A and B are shown apart, each in its own frame.
Chain A
């Protein structure tokens, strides 16, 4: 990690879009490791069947870029 980012605590962000028919789209940002997997598995167990799953672009970025994700990039 770079010195400039070491001062910041990493922020884990999960975005959900719950469609009018109840379908849930989940986008996990800036979560590295098992924590994310645990949350996702719990949610999916409670909710239903996972229809689709893909890696987002963030998974290819370095951890220190996590906080730079802008809403505009997601819409």
Chain B
């Protein structure tokens, strides 16, 4: 049946999350990694991005929500964009990568991909069925 759904994206899978971070120019390291914060204090995350300036970025799996969550020392946030904007960009990229790989696995091909004025990504995938 044809239908229309709205999905609130959660960072549920490691692979598209790693990919999304790489797409944004970061170098994430997998495995239990220390995330450095204020005065060298660390917490352990499942995925870490070591930053040259400011605190590191980490992602920790949350069993209760079934998703990865960002862990970082906000006082040391030195990125060019605010953390909310960073998370939004990351989530959008994660969503795009997830959609692209899922539709590819189901035999769909991308026929159109563009960024609209409000910053949304429009993606059209098609498949011909015999």
Contacts and interface: CB of A to CB of B under 8 A. Distances in A.
Contacts of B98: 43, 46-47
Given A12-B108, A42-B106, A47 B12 contact: yes
Given A22-B94, A29-B2, A39-B103, A47 B9 contact: yes
B13 interface: yes
Contacts of B10: 47-49
Contacts of A54: 3-5
Interface stretch (B26-34, B44-52, B120-128): B120-128
A32 B2 CA distance: 7
A9 B128 contact: yes
Interface string A7-48: 001111111111111111111111110011111101111111
Contacts of A29: 2
A54 B102 CA distance: 21
Tell me which of A11, A18, A43 has the highest count of chain B C-beta atoms within 10 A of its own C-beta. Answer: A18
A48 B103 contact: no
- What's the dominant secondary structure at chain B's contact region? mixed
Interface residues of B, number: 43
Interface residues of A, number: 48
Nearest to B90: A22
Interface of B: 1-10, 12-13, 16, 67, 88-92, 94-96, 98-99, 102-103, 105-106, 108, 111, 118-130
**4 smallest beta-carbon distances between A and B, as pairs:** A22-B91, A48-B10, A20-B119, A58-B2
Interface of A: 9-32, 35-40, 42-59
17 contacts: A9-B130, A10-B129, A11-B126, A16-B123, A17-B122, A19-B92, A24-B99, A28-B2, A43-B98, A46-B13, A47-B10, A47-B98, A49-B8, A52-B5, A52-B6, A53-B5, A54-B3
